[in-house]
Amino acid sequence: MFSKKDKRLLPIQSLVGSDMTIKGDLRFKGGLRIDGEVDGNVVAEEGSKSLLVISETGKVRGSVRVGHVVVSGAIEGPIEASELLELHPSANVSGDVRYKALEMHPGAVVDGTLHHEQLDAAPKALALASSK
């Protein structure tokens, strides 16, 4: 009755292997898993669904701009998750974080500020309510 795969997650189409180091910006579409290191910005194509998984051995030194971000490894730089940010117990983030939804497990570390981004409809509703 229940599938083992989580239907919410996009399939992983690209992989940075554990023995790989990429120097430079990385732009992608769909799902990406990082087990190695990226010295540069990791940015998903705007307007499309995107998933970035950083495993326990994965490390990014640069900014991250992706829809859904799952972190078990390390990020040294700012994160902008337009949909969901998941910080697992081994996650270590050094940088400011912007997110729409956040799931942070005990043990995860963020050395920076957390900024919750309101849904687009919320500010308009507040403006209407305050004008009465």
Question: What is the model's pTM?
Answer: 0.84
Q: Could you give the CA distance from residue 24 to residue 20 in angstroms, rounded to a whole number? A: 13
Per-residue pLDDT, 2: 42
- How many structural domains are present in the chain? 1
For residues 46-65, average pLDDT: 96
Assigned domain for 74 exists: yes
Q: Could you give the CA distance from residue 124 to residue 59 in angstroms, rounded to a whole number? A: 38
Assigned domain for 4 exists: no
Assigned domain for 67 exists: yes
* pLDDT tens column, 59-109: 999 999 999 999 999 999 999 999 999 999 999 999 999 999 999 999 999
Assigned domain for 3 exists: no
Q: Could you give the CA distance from residue 107 to residue 114 in angstroms, rounded to a whole number? A: 16
Assigned domain for 6 exists: no
Q: Could you give the CA distance from residue 47 to residue 96 in angstroms, rounded to a whole number? A: 23
